[in-house]
């Protein structure tokens, strides 16, 4: 088995037609058929179901298609890295951020990369932390900001910051006061929670409530902190999230954020352990770390503390 055969198979399995695949690959159809047959003989399985309309991947073929796509992408990246050793990092980096932190981090990250690594192109993907971790494993993301602890051995993670989760309510609401509160003080509040499917914030909140034997009053569920904070501002209840997600409302004194004792998430920069990061990905990770450090030190990332500088890990 070699990369050429895998490339042939990927094109054929995608197009599902020998004639179109041979044209796309610029080889004769009999030569393509022979290479696929040799691949099937080596693996000892049928990879394609041939029929009059073309060829459809078998279940074994679908597994090979997934693995081949990963290997070919990695091989292409190796060629780029070798060719660019003497040059500045360049190429596309798919970066995953949570919707709450993307507005805080992405613009300063993009500005820093434009200045230092102008040939790096970013593709931003916004999703909840558990989904971002899955995307790293599937190879659709190169780098992602995750919530620790990272549960999969297939993902490597570098500690970044720890954030306190906060009860977020209207600015003038005195139900919780201003100082840190205990989890049990949230029991009687109508809560508007994000996470459908559940986010890292929601999972951490429910886990702590379960450990303390508490039952929370969830009055409404929404998909994003953007909707939740608008509902809170209109008096529908309180939500639980990070203060960084409502920086503008805090500055305008429209909303307040009260830290919850014992409820903290660690932010980690993650990448797939089985796929060494490209030079461009490494540059993005280092720049993201620097941007996060500056935001935390300057107080622009509320209720956060640096983990790396304090010697904490995951």
Residue 217 has pLDDT above 70, yes or no: yes
Residue 247 has pLDDT above 90, yes or no: no
Residue 232 has pLDDT above 50, yes or no: yes
Q: What is the DSSP letter of 262?
A: E
Minimum mean pLDDT range among 62-71, 159-168, 171-180, 264-273: 171-180
In angstroms, the Cα distances linking 174 to 168, 171, 197 are 12, 8, 31
Q: What is the pLDDT of residue 184?
A: 92
Strand blocks (E) in 171-313:
191-194, 218-222, 239-242, 255-272, 304-306
Q: What is the pLDDT of residue 84?
A: 65
Give pLDDT tens digits for 123-150. Answer: 999 998 888 999 999 889 999 999 877 8
| Same fold: 91-161+266-310 with 162-264 | yes
Q: What is the pLDDT of residue 269?
A: 95
In angstroms, the Cα distances linking 154 to 131, 133, 199, 276, 312 are 14, 9, 20, 12, 21
Residue 168 and residue 263 in contact, taking contact as beta carbons nearer than 8 Å: no
Residue 311 has pLDDT above 50, yes or no: no
Residue for token pair 């190429």? 91
Listed residue (96, 150, 154, 153) closest to 126, CA to CA:
96
Assign 99 to helix, strand or coil: coil
- How sure is the predictor about 309, in pLDDT bands with cuts at 50, 70 and 90? very low
Q: What is the DSSP letter of 155?
A: E
Greatest mean pLDDT among 113-127, 148-162, 212-226: 113-127
What is the CATH T-level fold of the domain 3-83, as seen in this structure? Arc Repressor Mutant, subunit A (1.10.10)
Q: What is the pLDDT of residue 112?
A: 97
Residue 297 and residue 152 in contact, taking contact as beta carbons nearer than 8 Å: no
- How sure is the predictor about 172, in pLDDT bands with cuts at 50, 70 and 90? confident
CATH number for the segment(s) 91-161+266-310? 3.40.190.10
Q: What is the pLDDT of residue 312?
A: 42
Assign 151 to helix, strand or coil: coil
Residue 31 and residue 96 in contact, taking contact as beta carbons nearer than 8 Å: no
Q: What is the pLDDT of residue 88?
A: 80
Assign 242 to helix, strand or coil: strand
Give pLDDT tens digits for 48-98. Answer: 999 887 899 999 999 999 988 888 888 887 777 776 666 788 889 999 999
Listed residue (255, 11, 274) closest to 142, CA to CA:
274
Which sequence spans correspond to the domains of the chain? 3-83, 91-161+266-310, 162-264
* Sequence-separated (6 or more) residues with CB below 8 Å from residue 271: 136, 142, 143, 144, 155, 156, 277, 281, 285
Q: Which residues of 137-152 are buried (b: 16+ CB within 10 A; e: fewer)?
A: bebebbbbbbbbebee
Q: Choose which CATH entry (3.50.50.60, 3.60.21.10, 3.40.190.290, 3.30.70.520) describes domain 162-264.
A: 3.40.190.290
- How sure is the predictor about 313, in pLDDT bands with cuts at 50, 70 and 90? very low
């Amino acid at each position: 088995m070699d990369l050429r055969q895998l490339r042939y198979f990927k094109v054929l399995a995608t197009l599902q037609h020998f004639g179109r695949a041979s044209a796309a690959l610029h080889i004769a159809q009999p030569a393509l058929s022979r290479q696929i047959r040799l691949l099937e003989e080596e693996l000892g399985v049928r990879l394609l179901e041939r029929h009059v309309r073309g060829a459809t991947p078998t279940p074994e073929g679908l597994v090979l298609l997934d693995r081949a796509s990963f290997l070919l992408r990695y091989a292409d990246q190796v060629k780029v890295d070798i060719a660019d050793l003497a040059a500045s990092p360049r190429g596309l980096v798919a970066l995953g951020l949570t919707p709450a932190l993307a507005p805080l981090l992405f613009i300063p990250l993009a500005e820093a990369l434009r200045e230092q690594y102008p040939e790096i192109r970013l593709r931003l993907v916004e999703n909840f932390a558990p989904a971002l971790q899955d995307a790293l494993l599937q190879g659709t993301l190169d780098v992602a900001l995750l919530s620790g602890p990272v549960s999969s051995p297939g993902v490597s993670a570098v500690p970044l910051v720890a954030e306190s989760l906060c009860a977020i309510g209207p600015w003038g609401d005195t139900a919780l006061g201003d100082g840190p509160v205990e989890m049990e003080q949230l029991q009687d509040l109508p809560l508007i929670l994000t996470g459908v499917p559940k986010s890292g914030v929601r999972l951490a909140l429910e886990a702590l409530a379960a450990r303390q034997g508490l039952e929370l009053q969830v009055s409404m569920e929404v998909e994003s902190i953007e909707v939740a904070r608008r509902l809170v501002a209109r008096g529908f209840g309180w939500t639980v999230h990070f203060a960084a997600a409502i920086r503008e409302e805090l500055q305008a004194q429209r909303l307040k954020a009260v830290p919850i004792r014992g409820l903290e998430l660690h932010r980690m920069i993650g990448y797939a352990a089985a796929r060494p990061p490209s030079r461009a990905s490494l540059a993005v990770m280092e720049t993201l770390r620097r941007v996060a450090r500056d935001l935390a030190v300057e107080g622009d990332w509320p209720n956060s503390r640096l983990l790396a500088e304090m010697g904490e890990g995951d």
